[in-house]
Amino acid sequence: MNKHASDPANRPDAPPVRRPSCRISRLAWRLYEELLQPSRLDDYRRLLQNALDAGYEVIDNEQWLHRLRAGQIGPQQKVLVMRHDIDTDPRLSLDWHRIESELGCRASYYFRQSTRDAEVMHILAKAGVHVSYHFEELAEYAKQNRLRSPAAVQEAMPEIQAQFVENLHELRREFGLPMNVVCSHGDWMNRYLKMPNRVLTHDDGLRARAGIISETYDDEVMMPFAAYVSDDDPPTYWARGNPFELIQQGTSPLGILTHPKLWRSHWSSNARELTVRIREALQFKFGKGWK
């Protein structure tokens, strides 16, 4: 029994002040999240501390892959695999990393082209953190070339893959990191096409050419999880399960995905994101030449 879970005031899955959530509209929660939500980094520290107190080892996606392949994940072990998708606000990564290094925990940080912050990535890389590529070439190519049918995207796959390999090599050159365990980002275009970005890595030839040994959604690394949860908007804060409860129950192996931007009010970065999204939506609706 950990020392925090029984105290409702310490529960991170509730807002700081309990409100009759049934009466609060989605919009009100959204405004709370965008404008008022204080940083929940203390909750993250508490999550890691709970895991350590319960006997978990907190590892990154690269370690997870290697231990699985080496048959080193036994039923008696408690393992938590921590992944951070840096979709916006790359500088937040440093605060998260500070907590992890203080507690002796590891995590994977996945950066997009739009969040590649050389200073942040160099700091993390020098500290030995697992830093890799959050790729989205399939969605990007579809938007740039106005492809709105899965068949057209499939036809363009060699070009999409070539772009991915080029971008990946360029990142590897700049940061001197292997970046061979990569992670697919999800975009509105992927949802429209019903084609995730990771489809481009479903190709052994591409993997060999690009030097990719794993993608974070591969069955090999996803199926062994007893539970895989991700952070979400308030008021629930978590999707597919509450990690505090799962840790208390001793669920292992446990996978956790977080997006650091969700852990504090983020109107400024969302305003930028929204501007891009509106521009893309207008191009999609009114632009000519989509096929």
Q: Which residues bind Zn ion (CB under 5 A)?
A: 85, 87, 185
CB of 216 to Zn ion, least distance (A): 11
- SS3 at position 87: coil
Nearest to 198 by CA among 210, 209, 183: 183
Q: Are 228 and 28 in contact (CB under 8 A)?
A: no
Q: Give me the torsion for CA of 175, 178, 182, 187, rounded to 10°.
A: 20
Q: Which residue is nearest to Zn ion (CB)?
A: 185
CB of 240 to Zn ion, least distance (A): 16
Which residue, 79 or 179, is less far from Zn ion as judged by CB?
Answer: 179
Which residue, 143 or 185, is less far from Zn ion as judged by CB?
Answer: 185
Alpha helix positions (H), the chain? 26-31, 41-53, 61-69, 92-103, 118-126, 137-144, 150-155, 157-175, 188-193, 204-210, 219-222, 243-249, 267-286
Which residue, 87 or 100, is less far from Zn ion as judged by CB?
Answer: 87
CB of 190 to Zn ion, least distance (A): 10
Which residue, 87 or 215, is less far from Zn ion as judged by CB?
Answer: 87
CB of 134 to Zn ion, least distance (A): 5
